[in-house]
Structure 1
Amino acid sequence: MALVSTTACGGGGDSDARSTAEPSPTSIYGLEDEDTGQTITPEPVPSWDEQSRDDATQAADRAMELYARPGVSQSTWAGELAPLMTAQAQQDYSYVDPVAIAATKVTGPATIVEEPSPQVVHVSVPTDVGTYTVLLIRQGQNEPWLVSKFTLPEGLN
């Protein structure tokens, strides 16, 4: 003879019971963090405007200037470039030896080549060995553009 249990795993009780707890408290300034009790002010949703575009091209120019320096030590190269990169890119590029970078200087202005969203942009930056594409991302409208990836010019490996 087999016994069948009708109670749900994890302590029994009514499995159809719904929580009647109130949602997280809010204030007139934003949401309240349940763990810390601090008010969280939501960031504005990013949008494209001329300032965003200017900031993106300037960020790509600056990052490429720091990237294209095969004459500096690896620690100097990585340390100076890191603040301009995402955390993942910092890890991805942490073992790059700058001696292996063919470009030695930026030779023209950066230009936006693709704007898939207000948080992602592809910028071309001409160098002495061809045009690199710099992938930049930002978390919010007032956040800086950070390098996610440098793509080599066609023909370079």
Structure 2
Amino acid sequence: MRQHLALTVVLAAALSVSACAGTPGTEPATGPTPTLTTGQASQDSHQTGDGHGSDEHYGIPEVTWDAAAEKSVKDTAAKVMGLFARPDVPETTWFADLAPHLAPEYAEDAKYIDPARVPIRKITDGPAISRDAGNPMTVTATFSTDAGRWRMLLHRSGQQQPWLVTAISPQEPTP
């Protein structure tokens, strides 16, 4: 009798669950249907007239190269190189002054640089900016110094984001 009662309870529970689930494929979906983005923007995203480009829909920031971007990166590069080329400054002050302008990965490396070993005492020209035509987010700034030519890489993660230095190194002479 006890087994019969237990079997009845299990069957009733199973029927209740299957009744709640319904028959697969016979009921309409009640929530939004997921869609797959293939990497190509639909015509609708270009024709909405709301001023938003297709990049917004993919989470990629819209970044452009213009006169303001060029001025901003030149100002940042000149300031950082000036802070970098101070071999007589105590190490803690040197790094504290540079750190806000450095990308986190480079800041981790730069904190081990001994400013007394930086051979630059005077910047004689620059920055000269170069970049890939299709990339408004990363640039190379080059400087002439009393210790030869030096190169600085800068990157920004968005149009309104600051330029951060990702590397400073002597430029290898071209053969």
Q: When the two structures are superposed, what TM-score results if normalisation uses the length of structure 2?
A: 0.62
* Unmatched segments (≥5 aa) in structure 1: 1-15, 24-41
Name structure 2 gaps, 5 residues minimum.
Answer: 1-23, 34-58
1:60–1:125: 8 Å Cα contact kept in structure 2?
Answer: no
1:54-84 alpha-carbon deviations (Å, 9 max, x no partner):
1111111111000011001110111000001
- Please tell me whether residue 143 in structure 1 is matched to residue 165 in structure 2: no
Distance 1:126 1:21, change over 3 A: farther
SS of the equivalent of 1:141 reads coil
**Higher-RCO chain (CA-CA 8 Å, sequence separation at least 6):** 1
Bigger drift between 102-111 and 67-76 goes to 102-111
In structure 2, the partner of 1:47 is: 64
The equivalent position to 2:86 in structure 1, one of 69, 73, 77, is 69
Alignment deviations for residues 32-52 of structure 1 (CA, whole Å, 9 cap, x no partner): xxxxxxxxxx88511111111
Q: What residue identity is the alignment partner of 1:137? A: H
How far the C-alpha of 1:153 sits from its partner, in A, is 3.0
The superposition leaves residues 111-156 of structure 1 with CA deviations (integer Å, 9 ceiling, x where unpaired) of 112336111001112211112111000011011111000021336x
| Structure 1 residues 115 and 97, CA gap change in structure 2 (3 angstroms) | same
The structure with the largest strand share of the pair is 1
Calculate the TM-score normalised by the size of structure 1. Answer: 0.69
Identify, as 1 or 2, the structure richer in helix: 2
Count of residues in Structure 1 that have an aligned counterpart in Structure 2: 122
Aligned equivalents of 2:30, 2:104: Cα separation in 1: 40
Q: Within 5 A, what are the aligned runs for 1:91-130?
A: 91-115=108-132, 117-130=135-148
> Matched residue of 2:123: which SS?
coil
Aligned residues with identical type, % of pairs: 31
The aligned residue for residue 103 of structure 2 is: 86
1:132 aligns with 2:150: yes
User: Which has the greater radius of gyration?
Assistant: 2
**Secondary structure in structure 2 of the residue aligned to 1:107:** strand
